[in-house]
Chains A and B, each alone.
Chain A
Amino acid sequence: MKRYSVFAVAREALRDHMGWERAWASPEPKKKYDVIIVGAGGHGLATAYYLGRNFGITNVAVLEKGWLGGGNTGRNTTIIRSNYLQDPSAAIYEKSRSLYETLSQDLNYNIMFSPRGVIMLAQTEHEVRGYKRTAQANALQGVTTEFISPARVKEIVPIINLDGPRYPVLGGLYQARGGTARHDAVAWGYARACSAMGMHILQKCEVTGISREGGRVTGVTTNRGDIGCDKLGIVVAGHSGHLADMAGFRLPIESVALQALVSEPIKPCMDCVVMANTVHGYMSQSDKGEMVIGGGTDGYNNYTQRGSFHHIEETVRALIETFPMVARLKMLRQWGGIVDVTGDRSPILSKTPVDGIFINCGWGTGGFKAIPGSGWGFAELMAKGHSPLCDEFGLDRFYQGRFIDESVAAGVAH
């Protein structure tokens, strides 16, 4: 793999950019791999990458029915933070956030991690108490956060309105090293690094069946033929239930649409991510200048990647109250993604009833921020059978009543 650098760009400029290699290869499937990952989204690709990097397992294929990074990786609002309340969540999200810090350098691909800070607004006394508790928990978890005053919120986000007629801003939970990254680049960077290690990324390769023998996985059937494997990782947000069904088990998951929208681009006016959970709205500004706005999920099961418009209305109203200047902006584009929501709204990183099959799903509305940490932990789980980052996120917790509930501190768990 030829390294990317300013020198490489300059060199290529002089020969009309004809010398760039493919970012990732497009090979034919082999008969068998040590590990097959189904799903070439951020989580799947990161899993493959860390299998190679941390465990030397490189006889790996990542199967993707569409185009890599085309699921929720490429359609989320790119927020990265780790100020979660519960220990297992804080552990995996903080691992992830810290990996994001150096991911551009690790992958030699600029994923534009921008630690511009994330503020979660407290707009009721109840939220104030919840976020103060989170700050206390974070201090013990090694996550740097602070509860800040309304005046400080205004200082960081001058366009905010502290005295909305309905919900005043009473403070905020601030994580200065949270931020955003370029979502597509995360998938592309991992894909390029995986390909460089000799892994196969097989796009337009749809899994139609999972073969088992004696309770153990032996391979998959795809539209590009049967492919064998020793271990199978299912990492297919939005379609997890469908794949689990093929493997013969059921998941505590429901799939719903989550919507987002962007405004037309404007000059920089907000160098921070703001989340207002009471009114279900969150906003940041992309490097292109668009205001990136996320909203709530629909209540009904849905695989259409479209949502109901009244959620957009609610989100926009909330944001006009919180950031009055957006009233004079226009919506450029709205879209939806399908998110898997579990029984406690926390993810599942787990062994399954079938030997050799592992599942990574249920990230709900908050998966993008977890990509490196999820890949790191899930690779360890697949390689070694357990991982401190994943052990609490097993399927067994729903039988035991041992939930990891993040809605405790905040209404929405983005």
Chain B
Amino acid sequence: MLILTCPCCGVTGEETEFHQGGEAHLKRFGPGSSDDDFHTYMFAKENPKGAHFERWRHNNGCGKWFIMARDTVTLEVYGTYPAQTHEPPKNIRDAITAKRPGWTWRDFA
């Protein structure tokens, strides 16, 4: 049972207060994009053993979506931040690097 801290309202709550929304920082491809790009956007998930950026919604709380960086092997949480960004903030990346030197995730490291 995970425990999460919503970066929007500051509440720390049980997983049951939240709803998981899959991989974060996806770039949306619409009409006119190539089959490869669209396939990547829809299906080719990172699914890493390690740091994972994922979207959660505080749906039994403030209702906001946010992004959590979490390790899929240890379940360690590196941090959460609001969803209105295209890339993880530096402090989160640093936290991951401290634990998993040399990690990469899509274009991030």
Q: Do chains A and B touch in the complex (CB under 8 A)?
A: yes
B-contacting residues of A (Cβ < 8 Å)?
A: 239, 241-242, 250-255, 299-304, 308-310, 343, 398-399
A388, chain B: closest CB distance, angstroms: 25
Instruction: Give 8 closest A-B pairs by Cβ, nearest first.
Output: A252-B43, A299-B20, A241-B47, A250-B44, A343-B43, A308-B1, A301-B72, A398-B43
Asked if A302 and B72 sit within 8 Å, CB to CB, the answer is yes
Asked if B43 and A242 sit within 8 Å, CB to CB, the answer is no
Nearest to A311 among chain B residues (CB) is: B1
Q: Does B97 interact with chain A (Cβ within 8 Å)?
A: no
Q: Does B45 interact with chain A (Cβ within 8 Å)?
A: yes
Chain A residues lying within 8 Å of B2, measured Cβ to Cβ, are 300, 308
Known contacts: A299-B19, A302-B72, A310-B1. The answer to whether A343 contacts B54 by CB under 8 A is no
Asked if A253 and B1 sit within 8 Å, CB to CB, the answer is no
Asked if B47 and A254 sit within 8 Å, CB to CB, the answer is yes
Asked if A254 and B15 sit within 8 Å, CB to CB, the answer is no
Chain A residues lying within 8 Å of B26, measured Cβ to Cβ, are none
- Alpha-carbon distance between A309 and B40 when the two chains are bound, in angstroms: 33
Interface of A is mostly: mixed
Known contacts: A301-B54, A303-B73. The answer to whether A252 contacts B45 by CB under 8 A is yes
A65, chain B: closest CB distance, angstroms: 13
- Alpha-carbon distance between A239 and B49 when the two chains are bound, in angstroms: 9
- Alpha-carbon distance between A301 and B23 when the two chains are bound, in angstroms: 9
- Alpha-carbon distance between A132 and B52 when the two chains are bound, in angstroms: 41
Q: Which of B14, B22, B72, B74 counts the most chain A CB atoms within 10 A?
A: B72
- Alpha-carbon distance between A310 and B60 when the two chains are bound, in angstroms: 15
Q: Does B11 interact with chain A (Cβ within 8 Å)?
A: no
B79, chain A: closest CB distance, angstroms: 16
Tell me which of B15, B19, B20 contacts A310 (CB under 8 A). B15
Asked if B35 and A253 sit within 8 Å, CB to CB, the answer is no
Chain B residues lying within 8 Å of A299, measured Cβ to Cβ, are 19-20
- Alpha-carbon distance between A309 and B1 when the two chains are bound, in angstroms: 6
Given contacts A302-B75, A309-B1, 13 further A-B contacts (CB under 8 A): A239-B49, A242-B49, A250-B45, A251-B47, A252-B39, A252-B45, A254-B23, A254-B47, A255-B72, A300-B2, A301-B72, A308-B15, A398-B39
Q: Does B42 interact with chain A (Cβ within 8 Å)?
A: yes
A135, chain B: closest CB distance, angstroms: 32
Which residues between 29 and 84 of chain B lie within 8 Å of chain A, taking CB atoms?
35-36, 39-40, 42-45, 47-49, 52, 54, 70, 72-75
Interface of B is mostly: mixed
Chain B contributes a number of interface residues (CB within 8 A of A) equal to 27
- Alpha-carbon distance between A398 and B45 when the two chains are bound, in angstroms: 13
List the count of A-B residue pairs having beta carbons below 8 Å apart.
Answer: 58
B104, chain A: closest CB distance, angstroms: 11
A88, chain B: closest CB distance, angstroms: 18
Asked if B39 and A399 sit within 8 Å, CB to CB, the answer is yes
Tell me which of B15, B19, B40, B52 contacts A301 (CB under 8 A). B52
B106, chain A: closest CB distance, angstroms: 11
Chain A residues lying within 8 Å of B47, measured Cβ to Cβ, are 241, 251, 253-255, 301
- Alpha-carbon distance between A217 and B63 when the two chains are bound, in angstroms: 49
Q: Which of B2, B36, B40 counts the most chain A CB atoms within 10 A?
A: B2
Chain A residues lying within 8 Å of B40, measured Cβ to Cβ, are 250
- Alpha-carbon distance between A239 and B47 when the two chains are bound, in angstroms: 10
B96, chain A: closest CB distance, angstroms: 15
Q: Does B12 interact with chain A (Cβ within 8 Å)?
A: no
Nearest to A250 among chain B residues (CB) is: B44
Chain A residues lying within 8 Å of B36, measured Cβ to Cβ, are 399
- Alpha-carbon distance between A299 and B39 when the two chains are bound, in angstroms: 22
Nearest to A400 among chain B residues (CB) is: B35
Can you report 5 residue pairs joining A to B where beta carbons are below 8 Å apart?
A241-B48, A250-B40, A301-B47, A308-B1, A308-B15
Asked if A300 and B73 sit within 8 Å, CB to CB, the answer is no
Asked if B44 and A251 sit within 8 Å, CB to CB, the answer is yes
Known contacts: A308-B2, A343-B42. The answer to whether A300 contacts B54 by CB under 8 A is yes
Nearest to B44 among chain A residues (CB) is: A250
B26, chain A: closest CB distance, angstroms: 13
Chain A residues lying within 8 Å of B49, measured Cβ to Cβ, are 239, 242, 303
Chain A residues lying within 8 Å of B39, measured Cβ to Cβ, are 252, 398-399
Asked if B73 and A304 sit within 8 Å, CB to CB, the answer is yes
Asked if B75 and A310 sit within 8 Å, CB to CB, the answer is no
Chain A residues lying within 8 Å of B52, measured Cβ to Cβ, are 301
Asked if B45 and A300 sit within 8 Å, CB to CB, the answer is no
Chain B residues lying within 8 Å of A254, measured Cβ to Cβ, are 22-23, 45, 47
Nearest to B20 among chain A residues (CB) is: A299
Nearest to B74 among chain A residues (CB) is: A304
- Alpha-carbon distance between A135 and B28 when the two chains are bound, in angstroms: 39
Tell me which of A239, A310, A343 contacts B16 (CB under 8 A). A310
- Alpha-carbon distance between A252 and B54 when the two chains are bound, in angstroms: 16
- Alpha-carbon distance between A310 and B18 when the two chains are bound, in angstroms: 13
